[in-house]
Structure 1
Amino acid sequence: MGLRKATVLPIPAVLLAGVLTGCKTVDEAASPPTPTRSSSSPSAPKPSPTHRKLKPGAKGADVKALQRRLKELRYDPGKADGRYGPSTQLAVWAFQGVNRLKQTSTLGKPFWRALDHPKDPRPMAKRREADRVDVDLRRQYLVLYKDGRPRLITHVSSGSGEYYCAKDRGATVARCRYATTGTGDFETGRRASGWEISPLGQLYNPVYFNGGIAFHGALDVPRYPASHGCVRMPMHIAEYFPDLLGTGVPVHVRRPA
C-alpha cells in the first residue's frame, strides 16, 4: 500500500531491470457532497453561476463550464458532465499548483480570478526542449509539452520521503532506503501496457524514466506525496499518456522554491 506519514512498511522489492520500482496505491476517502445552500432572505443576492463557491459533489451548469475551461487550458477533469467528482478535483489541484494557489477542493473567489487570468507553467530546467515532461515535486504537478506548448497538465503524487526496507533482485537481505523521487534530467525508456504487478504494488501503463522510477496510473493519487518513488497519475490520464510520450523524451524533475 502507499506510504503515509509515520508509517514504515517493509515490502519486497520489484524485480524489474534489477532495480526497485513503483509504489502500491491506497484508496483515499472522497470528500462528501456538500448540499446547496439557499438564502432565506429575498433581498440576498444570488451568487453568479461562474463565481458560486464549489465543493466536491456540486452539480450544475457552472461545474460543466469549469470542466470545459480546464480542458481549454490543457488540464483534464474527465468528462464535462457538470459533476464535481474526483477527476475534476485532481485537475483543480493541478491548476492551483501551477497558479501558486492553496491546493484545496473548495473553490472560491481567488480560484475564479485565477481561472479568468491563468498563469503558464514555469519551466523546470534551462533546457526547454519542444517535446519534454516537466515535473514539479513541490507542487505535485506534471506538464507534458508537445511542439513547445503544454499538451497536458495533471496532478501527480511522487515519493513520500518515508523510510522503508525491501529486498532487491537476487538479494537475501532487505535494504533500507527513503521513498524519494530523485530530481535531475532523465529520458523516457521502457514501458508496459496495462497493469504491471510487483511486490510493491500495481502500476498501470508505466513509462520508466529513471531506472525503476516510472510515470504510471494509480487508483489513489492523493494531494500529497505518497509513493515509493514513482510518479502516480490519475487513471483516466494514464489511459492515453503513453500515446503522447515517445521513447527518449527528456524529463526534467525539480523541487523549485
Structure 2
Amino acid sequence: MRKSAVPLIAAVVLAGCNGTEQTAPPAPEPSPSTSVTAAPPSTPAPTPAHRKLKPGAKGADVEDLQRRLKELHYDPGKADGKYGPSTQMAVWAFQAVNRLKHKSTPDKSFWEALDAPKEPRPVAGKREKDRVDVDLKRQYLVLYKDGEPRLISHISSGSGEYYCAKDPGATVPRCRYATTSTGDFRTGRRFTGWETSPLGRLYNPVYFNGGIAFHGALDVPDYPASHGCVRMPMHIAEYFPGLLGTNVPVHVRRPG
C-alpha cells in the first residue's frame, strides 16, 4: 500500500583551485564559411535516490516509503528511515496485492504502483464488513473493518511438507502434511503472549480453524514455511488481536 516526496536537486557551482569562480574565455565567432554545430542533448537527470532503496538503506527516502505504505494500510513498523525486516515485509505485501514480483530492491514498476495502487481483491463471495481474507497463493491477509481494509500484512502459511509430531497426551506421533486448509471459518480462542504448542511457540495466537491460528513469529519468510498456522510479523501480532474480535469470519482461499 502515496505520492512520493519530490526529490530536491541541489545546484552545483564549479570553482577553481583557489575557490574563486572560473570564467570561461569568450568563444570565437564562427567565420562565414563555418557552420555552427548544434549542442548535444543534455544528460537526463539521475534517477531519484529513493528508487534504488534496498534492505539496509537509511534516510529520508526510506521514511517517505514507510509513511506511504502506512497510508495504504500496510504496516512497515515505525517510520524511522531504516529499511529493516518490517519494512521489507510490508513491501512484499504491497507487491503481492499489486501482482508484482517479490523483490528486495523495489524497481520502477513498484514505484509506479505505489503512486496508483490497486485495492486488494476479495477472496470469497461472502464479503462481510468485518472479516479477514487470506490469500495463500500470494501470502498476504487483509483485515476489513466496516467494509474497508484496515490492515494488509505479509504472512507465511503451511509449507506443504510432511512431518510427524505428538499431540498432547498421545503416546505415538501423528504424521501429516503442513497445510493451511482453505474454507470459511470464524475466530475463536486466543492467548496473550507466547503460547507453547507441540510444534513450537506462537505469539498472541488467534485461532480460527481448530489448532490453526494467526500468530506472530520471529521468522516470517517470503514463502510458505509454517506447520499450518498463519504467521505474521511480530510488530503486527502485537496489536492484531485487538483489531479482531471473536466469531469474526475468516475466508482462506488460493485464488488464481
TM-score, length of structure 1 as denominator length = 0.81
Query: Is there any run of 5+ residues in structure 1 with no aligned partner, and where?
Result: 1-42
SS at match of 2:87: helix
The residue aligned with 1:85 is 84
The residue aligned with 1:184 is 183
Alpha-carbon distance, 1:54 to partner? 1.3
The residue aligned with 1:121 is 120
SS at match of 2:70: helix
SS at match of 1:150: strand
Task: For 1:169 and 1:53, locate their aligned partners in 2 and report how far apart those are by CA, in whole Å.
Answer: 50
Alpha-carbon distance, 1:47 to partner? 1.9
Alpha-carbon distance, 1:49 to partner? 4.2
Letter in 1 for 2:91: V
Structure 1 runs (4+) deviating above 6 angstroms are none
The residue aligned with 1:140 is 139
Do residues 238 (structure 1) and 211 (structure 2) align? Answer: no
Query: Is there any run of 5+ residues in structure 2 with no aligned partner, and where?
Result: 1-42
Q: What does 1:74-223 correspond to in 2, within 5 Å?
A: 74-223=73-222
Letter in 2 for 1:48: P
The residue aligned with 2:3 is none
Letter in 1 for 2:71: E
SS at match of 2:120: coil
Task: For 1:212 and 1:199, locate their aligned partners in 2 and report how far apart those are by CA, in whole Å.
Answer: 11
SS at match of 2:78: coil
Letter in 2 for 1:120: E
Task: For 2:238 and 2:170, locate their aligned partners in 1 and report how far apart those are by CA, in whole Å.
Answer: 34
Q: Deviations 1:180-224 (Å, cap 9, x if unpaired)?
A: 000000000000000001231110000000000000000000000
SS at match of 2:137: coil
Largest Rg, 1 or 2: 2
CA RMSD of aligned residues (A): 1.3
- The answer to whether the 8 Å contact 2:188/2:246 transfers is yes
Task: For 1:73 and 1:208, locate their aligned partners in 2 and report how far apart those are by CA, in whole Å.
Answer: 27
- The answer to whether the 8 Å contact 2:168/2:198 transfers is no
The residue aligned with 1:48 is 48
**Among the aligned pairs, what percent are the same residue?**
80
Do residues 68 (structure 1) and 81 (structure 2) align? Answer: no
Number of aligned residues: 215
Task: For 2:174 and 2:83, locate their aligned partners in 1 and report how far apart those are by CA, in whole Å.
Answer: 43
SS at match of 2:144: strand
Alpha-carbon distance, 1:169 to partner? 3.0
SS at match of 1:232: strand
